[in-house]
Copies of this chain bind each other. A is one copy, B any other.
Amino acid sequence: MPAGEFTLIAELRDALGQGRSGDGTLIGIGDDAAVLDCGGRSLVACTDTLVAGRHFFADVNAADLAWKALAVNLSDLAAMGAEPRWTLLNLALPAGLATAAWRADFVRGWQALASASAVRLVGGDTVASDGPLTVTVTALGLLSGPALQRDAAQPGDDIYVTGTLGDAALALERAFAARRGEENPPLAGADWLEQRRLRPTPRLAFARAAQRLRALCAQDVSDGFLADLGHILRASRVGARIDAECLPLSPPVAEWVAEDGERLSRTALTGGDDYELILCAPPSLAGELQDAARRTATPLCRVGRILPPAAGVRLFWQGEERPLPTQWGHEHAL
């Protein structure tokens, strides 16, 4: 993304994200979602925009697109520990796109995840556009008790990751190769990887369980593990040690990385679109968190430890320190 747009976000936050005290904003811009006081349970609100050709292939199946547009927002709610409730959907549609088949697919893909997550569509806007298909979803959830926040990691906390990392990144690499006409090497589980890319599963149940256990710090992995861990470290003003051999890899990614260890960096460390959670919690919660993970059928791995700020980020492989990748991630790319 050009520098002007990053600058714009910072300018908007600085100029428009400030309010009077007592306006009910518990958490404003700068976390996965805002937390707002409505007098009852706290409201959690987030929004994401996906643009054809940038965040998804323009020829994507509408069912997969609908699922993903909803999933990336539910993942932000999960990262706050919220219970998802309502959504709004804005579509800017190129002429001729919304055929009966496309519409049926879109509804089907949305419904599949919305039913499973018990969220209801309560509003939106559909407009015609001369540009690429642009999908904006806003998700609203409720929260009892404190949110999982980026800025709550403490030295000594364990760092956990749900699920497996790098699946979407490897699937995307193969999808790009196929589109360039290259033949991908055979890989067991390639179809499963592609599903991981197309239909990420927000970790809602585990996140809510962790929030109820008073774990305080989480962030979802959308820009890459190191990039999103970096958000936690900056916000919490702490350092971290990562034991790279503990990073959870699916069998296809593990097989692919085994051929060339450098590939770990492109997938698990910096690949985007995982929509897993990074959770930081004190060792005293370890047993209860693993119980919650089992109860919610969520793979959960301890991958490192939060350190004092002076430590920065230190990457280890079987006890030996390794250099960090120069680039830590990317903005939700296609």
Contacts and interface: CB of A to CB of B under 8 A. Distances in A.
Interface string A19-46: 1100111001100011011111101011
Contacts of A85: 23-24, 36
Contacts of A4: 93, 96-100, 103
A123 B90 contact: no
Contacts of A297: none
Interface stretch (A130-138, A199-207, A267-275): A130-138
A327 B143 CA distance: 46
Contacts of A29: 121-124
A93 to B, nearest CB: 6
A36 B16 CA distance: 25
B126 A8 contact: yes
A11 B103 contact: yes
B88 A123 contact: no
Contacts of A55: 127
A213 interface: no
Interface stretch (A107-115, A242-250, A313-321): A107-115
A310 interface: no
B126 A9 contact: yes
A96 B134 CA distance: 19
A13 to B, nearest CB: 8
A17 interface: yes
A49 B118 contact: no
Given A45-B122, A122-B34, A136-B136, A107 B16 contact: yes
Interface string A73-95: 00000000000011011111101
B54 A5 contact: no
B38 A8 contact: no
A95 B131 CA distance: 13
Contact of A47 (B11, B12, B48, B123): B123
A125 interface: yes
Nearest to A20: B118
A1 interface: yes
Contact of A16 (B2, B19, B43, B114): B114
Contacts of A136: 47, 49, 90, 125, 136
Contacts of A11: 103-104, 107
A45 B86 contact: yes
A107 B43 contact: no
A326 interface: no
Contacts of A210: none
A16 B121 contact: yes
Given A28-B120, A45-B140, 17 more contacts: A2-B98, A2-B128, A4-B98, A4-B99, A12-B89, A16-B111, A16-B120, A24-B86, A29-B122, A34-B88, A34-B123, A38-B39, A38-B142, A39-B39, A51-B92, A51-B127, A130-B132
Interface of A: 1-2, 4-5, 7-9, 11-13, 15-20, 23-25, 28-29, 33-34, 36-41, 43, 45-51, 53-55, 85-86, 88-93, 95-100, 103-104, 106-107, 110-111, 114, 118, 120-132, 134, 136, 138, 140, 142
